[in-house]
Structure 1
Amino acid sequence: MGHYITKIFQHVLNFSLITLGIILLFLLIRELVDFFRLIFQSDDDYKIFLESILIFFLYFEFIAMIVKYFKEDYHFPLRYFIYIGITAMIRQIIVSHDEPVATLLNSLVILILIICNFIINLTPRERPESKWYFKIKE
């Protein structure tokens, strides 16, 4: 019975991630169109231009994360979450660097994420057999 429940949950999760990927792909294309529209406008507001680039890469990263999930046999590697966190914090510093204390705290968060990434890369990447809970009942 547990085998069927986990299969149902896996299918629901896969369907949800595919749906989310399609929505993110649509938003990525829309952001790309807005990006080209900003290029050809004669507006001198570079902050909107930079914001558009940053949002584009956020969509791109999350789509890449969903693709990685399916390539890694239904597993999100923790190191990719750390990479996304580091790049998101760097973007935050680029966009809003007016307050020195906030910039320092964001830099400390980046340092902590880099240390976490270093620790994760020191440990072996092998996972235990993913179907161990099925073998117990069989």
Structure 2
Amino acid sequence: MEYIKKVPYLLQALLNICLFLLALALSVLLISETWYIMQVVYNSFFVKVDSYYEMLGELLIFFMYFEFIALIIKYFKSNFHFPLRYFIYIGITAITRLIIIDHDQAVSTFWWSVSILIMISALFIANKKKSMEEH
């Protein structure tokens, strides 16, 4: 019966190890994305760039890697807790990238924009609730 009480601690340790490995993998991808962006910028001085939307999409992917790494760091710093607002930031960035890359249909772009507005409203409510708890 004593070993059952140790199961949550074992699972928490496994989760922490997996998140650490994920952070390492995301860091490698972030460095790779940085290198790719630097190459595109360097080449754009000598060759005409075909699509600025693609470059902007790559920058947003860069920020998504950055946000996920920041989320994992915050998880460890806040005693194994994921703050909701970080997920909202990641969602807003992901949908913004989607709108920039795939904006062919006006109706779908409108609905994606509405979803960003909803997430910003949720972020406002979450921050307002947090500031009310501090006072």
TM above 0.5, yes or no, is yes
Identity of aligned residues (%): 46
Please state if 1:44 is matched with 2:49.
Answer: yes
Structure 1 counterpart of 2:63 = 57
Higher fraction of helix? 2
CA distance in 2, matches of 1:39, 1:124: 41
Please state if 1:120 is matched with 2:122.
Answer: no
Aligned length: 126
In the superposition, the TM-score normalised over structure 2's length comes to 0.83
- Gap runs ≥5 in structure 2: none
Please state if 1:108 is matched with 2:114.
Answer: yes
Match 1:70 to one of 59, 66, 76: 76
- Gap runs ≥5 in structure 1: 127-138
Structure 2 counterpart of 1:25 = 27
Computed over aligned residues only, the root mean square deviation of the Cα atoms, in angstroms, reads: 1.8
1:122–1:39 Cα change, 3 Å:
closer
Structure 2 counterpart of 1:89 = 95
Q: Secondary structure of 1:119's partner?
A: helix
In the superposition, the TM-score normalised over structure 1's length comes to 0.82
1:27–1:4 Cα change, 3 Å:
same
Shift of residue 62, structure 1, vs aligned partner:
0.6
